[in-house]
Amino acid sequence: MQYCSKCGAKLRKNAKFCHECGTRVRDIPKTVKTEPIDSSYERWKRKGRISLILCDVLSLIGLFIFGWLILVVYERAGKWRTGLKFFIPIILLWVLGYRVSFIFGLIGIALYIYAWYSIRKTIKGYHEKYYRELHEREIVRGVSQEEISTEGRETIRKPEFKPGLADPDHPARKEIDQASTLASEVVSLFVGGFSCHSGDAMHLVSLIDNALEKSPNDLDLLVAKSGALCLALKFKTAEEVLDKALSIDPNHFEATQRRLYPDKWPHLFAYPPWSESTTTLHSIILNHLQRKFILQIIRDGLQTGIGIFRPATMSQFPKGLTSDMRCKWQPFWSETPYGPIIAHYTLIEDDPENPYVAEAFLNPSITDEVNPFSGYWLIRRLTTLSSCFVVLTDGHKILYNRRFVFPDSLRRELKTISERILEERPRLDEKTWRLAIRWHTQHFNMKNIRF
């Protein structure tokens, strides 16, 4: 019996080459005696191969299990396609790493780690979606209405709408005006952002605290204080103030949105200030108006508000135009063959027989991303307000500026529109929305719009 001196394998009879290492038999010195390898080596080698295969199988099973967890997490967040885009390449790269080159396996491991890393963001988006839907269900349920019994009959008490911090009889009217004036002076607004010195921001916080002394637990003042703290870069304290407001009223719209979406829902000091005494148009409002944004978010003192800004010229008003003339703003839910849209109309009584009427539209589509300037969220904001500003402008010049207080019928209409959006959840792309607008303008009777 002869053994290979290089690898120790048992040589076959009359073999010219070692079948294990390929060494020629004649090159093996016959004078060198090789010790026979213990027979347990063969058993050890066979067990090693079985263990290697077992490790590969267990690794593949583990990869499928953790990959499936990735799919489950992404699916619950409504992003199952993204999870699938991670899962399939990871499996393919693992197979290529096993069969072709370990480099593919390393790439698969790197992609696997990144997929788990990105889950944190996905879970955050899932939580935001969950809380948004929960908040929407509370709105639809109409928790603000209260049933009372009068002489054996059940009636419904209508929710009481108040002007909030714009109330001229507010107990902290002087302090609110002082804080609002200071904010207009120290906060520099420009297209795409704002800036404020932290010292000025803390002075603003102190003025809001003075107002809170006269009106403790005023939720709008607490939200305003939170925004001022954000200007001072005290974000943790700002969150605590919002938590205090939500502990008093968990359904407060602005506090809820700021707490859930602090990065996507700007505080009130990020918007240009507006009042009935404003005499010139802010550059941000003009920029948005040039981009056809009619409904715009403004800062109404120490609370957010809505302004209806329409471009116009004095030649459109042959009988003159003053801010003492009556105005009206009216939205309509319009069903079209292409999907629903929101049409809204601005009326000014410059001529009682032929008043000024302007038409505009909002897209009611609900998107995955929260955007305070989208049609749905503008309507939602309007349902929480008691008034808006109706403004006609010619460039930076203001032709007409008046606060329009919502009548009860308009408040009910806004709430109905908001509920219908949640029920139908329309999704209209730009082209479909344009077709729906064209259909509405061709079939809607403008004579229905009147005071």
Q: What is the pLDDT of residues 272-314, one digit of tens each?
A: 999 999 989 999 999 999 999 999 999 999 999 999 999 999 9
Q: Which of 20-24, 72-76, 103-107, 222-226 has the highest mean pLDDT?
A: 222-226
List all residues 6 or more positions away from 386 whose beta carbon is below 8 Å from its beta carbon: 161, 162, 163, 164, 405, 406, 411
Q: How far is 447 from 451, CA to CA, in rounded Å?
A: 11
* Burial group, residue 71, by CB count within 10 angstroms (0-12, 13-18, 19+): middle
- Grade residue 89 by pLDDT with cuts at 50, 70 and 90: confident
The pLDDT of residue 244? 94
pLDDT(236) > 70: yes
- What are the angstrom distances between the C-alpha of 151 and each of 17, 145, 154, 156, 157? 112, 19, 8, 13, 15
The pLDDT of residue 40? 56
Least confident of 53-67, 230-244, 353-367, 424-438: 53-67
The pLDDT of residue 151? 37
Higher pLDDT, 182 or 53: 182
Total residues belonging to the chain: 451
The pLDDT of residue 133? 57
Q: Which amino acid is at 404?
A: F
310-328 pLDDT tens trace: 999 999 999 999 999 999 9
**Average pLDDT for the chain:** 81
24-81 pLDDT tens trace: 776 555 544 455 555 555 555 555 555 556 666 666 666 666 666 666 666 655 565 6
List all residues 6 or more positions away from 130 whose beta carbon is below 8 Å from its beta carbon: none
The pLDDT of residue 217? 84
Q: How far is 25 from 31, CA to CA, in rounded Å?
A: 13
Q: How far is 342 from 361, CA to CA, in rounded Å?
A: 6
105-121 pLDDT tens trace: 667 667 666 666 666 66
- Residues of the chain with pLDDT > 70: what percent? 70
Higher pLDDT, 425 or 35: 425
Of 253, 164, 269, 231, whose CA–CA distance to 242 is shortest?
Answer: 253
- Grade residue 153 by pLDDT with cuts at 50, 70 and 90: very low
Q: Is the pTM of this model over 0.75?
A: no
- Grade residue 139 by pLDDT with cuts at 50, 70 and 90: very low
Q: How far is 384 from 414, CA to CA, in rounded Å?
A: 9
The pLDDT of residue 43? 58
Q: What is the residue whose two structure tokens read 């263990």? A: 51
Residues paired with 3 in a beta bridge: 10
Of 283, 247, 253, whose CA–CA distance to 268 is shortest?
Answer: 253
Q: Please give the distance of CA 124 from its chain centroid, rounded to a whole number.
A: 11
Q: What is the residue whose two structure tokens read 């300037």? A: 373
The pLDDT of residue 366? 87
* 3-state per-residue secondary structure call for 50-81: HHHHHHHHHHHHHHHHHHHHHHHHHHHCCCHH
Least confident of 112-116, 251-255, 415-419, 425-429: 112-116
List all residues 6 or more positions away from 359 whose beta carbon is below 8 Å from its beta carbon: 343, 344, 345, 441, 446
Higher pLDDT, 144 or 129: 129
pLDDT(1) > 90: no
Domain spanning 168-270: CATH 3.30.870.10: no
Residues 418, 377: contact at Cβ < 8 Å? no
What is the pLDDT averaged over residues 142-148?
Answer: 38
Delimit the domains of the chain by residue range: 1-37, 40-134, 168-270, 272-451
The pLDDT of residue 145? 37
Least confident of 140-149, 240-249, 371-380: 140-149
pLDDT(343) > 70: yes
Of 279, 167, 176, 192, whose CA–CA distance to 228 is shortest?
Answer: 176
The pLDDT of residue 68? 65
**For residue 78, is it left (φ>0), alpha (ψ between -120 and 50) or beta?**
left
- Grade residue 440 by pLDDT with cuts at 50, 70 and 90: very high
